Amino acid sequence: MTRTVIPRSQMTLLHQGRLNSFYDVPTRLGLREMAAHNEDLSNLLAAKMLVLSLNEGATLIQADTSNTLPALLGTLRATGLENFSTLIMAADRPVAYFEFPIEITENYQLEIPGGISLVSEKTEETALRELMDEYGLKDPNNIIQTAPLVIYPAANDAGSNAELYTTRVTVVRGQPNPPEHKKGIRRDKCWFGPLLEVEDYLKEQGAKGVIVEWLALGAIFQLGLELHGGWKALRK
C-alpha cells in the first residue's frame, strides 16, 4: 500500500482537508483511491435529520402543532404523504472500491443531512443546524414541525470509532439548496423526490453499486413503521 500525494486544492474539495490520508489500493481493475480521517475528533455525538418538504400548492393540515412525534405523524397523515418530498444528498466519503461480492461503482455516498455535534451542543441543536446548512434552508420560519425519531444515541461503527447518532424528522416549506462542494456535497448527484418513492430510489441505487448510508434507510424505515403505530400497535 503506497502513499499518494494529493494537491491541497483537491484535499479541500474532497472534504475541506479533513480526509488527509490518501492511498492507492491495488485491485483487479487497477489502483483505486482510498481516503481516511486522521483527525482526532473530541466529540462523537452526532445527529441526522430526515427533512420532509411540503409540496408547493399542497394544503397543510395540523390538528396538533406541538413538536412531538405523534403530532408530526398526525400532520403527515392529515395532509397526505403524497404531498411531501424529501432530499437524499450525495457526498464524497472515504470510499474503498470493492469488486466481490458486490461492485461499488461510485465514489460518493447517498445520505440524509447530519453531522458531529459541536462541543457542548445538544444533538437536537446539531440536527437543526445541519438542516440549515446541508439542506440549505435559509429561513428558520420555514420549519413547520420537528420531532425526535430515534431519541437514544445509536452507534454507527466506522471501524476506528463509534459515532453515536440520534435522528429527527422535520417538516419544512421550501425546496432544498445544498451547498456545492461544502462537506464534499455533490449537488449533481443529489435527489429530491416524493416521500413515497424514496425507499425504492435508495434500493435501486444500491443495486447499481452506489453506496447507501444505512442511517438514511433506517430513518425512512422507522418513519414508515411509526406511521403504522410502531411494533406495539402491530403486536395487538
Query: What's the pLDDT at 20?
Result: 47
39, 55, 45: which is closest to 171 by C-alpha? 55
Tens digits of per-residue pLDDT, 126-184?
Answer: 999 999 999 999 999 999 999 999 988 888 765 556 788 999 999 999 999 999 877 78
Q: Are residues 133 and 205 in the same domain?
A: yes
Q: Are residues 11 and 56 in the same domain?
A: no
Q: Which domain holds residue 84?
A: 41-235
CB 219 within 8 A of CB 212: no
Query: What's the pLDDT at 80?
Result: 98
With bands split at pLDDT 50, 70 and 90, how would you rate the model's confidence at 94? Answer: low
- Total tally of structural domains belonging to the chain: 2
Q: Are residues 184 and 199 in the same domain?
A: yes
The secondary structure of the chain in percent helix, strand, coil, rounded to multiples of 5, reads 35, 30, 35
Q: Are residues 83 and 178 in the same domain?
A: yes
Query: What's the pLDDT at 4?
Result: 47
Q: Are residues 90 and 166 in the same domain?
A: yes
Query: What's the pLDDT at 83?
Result: 98
Q: Are residues 59 and 131 in the same domain?
A: yes
Q: In terms of pLDDT, which residue wins out, 229 or 163?
A: 229
Q: Are residues 23 and 108 in the same domain?
A: no
Q: Are residues 10 and 95 in the same domain?
A: no
Task: State which H helix or E strand residue 50 sits in.
Answer: strand 45-54
Lowest mean pLDDT among 5-9, 108-112, 122-126: 5-9
Q: Are residues 102 and 211 in the same domain?
A: yes
Query: What's the pLDDT at 232?
Result: 86
Query: What's the pLDDT at 136?
Result: 95
Rounded distance between C-alpha atoms, residue 188 and residue 90, angstroms: 8
Query: What's the pLDDT at 9?
Result: 42
| Grid cell at residue 227 | 406511521
Rounded distance between C-alpha atoms, residue 10 and residue 215, angstroms: 28
Mean of per-residue pLDDT scores for the chain = 83
Residues of the chain with pLDDT > 90, as a percent, come to: 57
Tens digits of per-residue pLDDT, 2-17?
Answer: 444 444 444 333 444 4
User: Which CATH number belongs to the domain containing residue 155 in this structure?
Assistant: 3.90.79.10
Lowest mean pLDDT among 93-102, 117-126, 171-180: 93-102
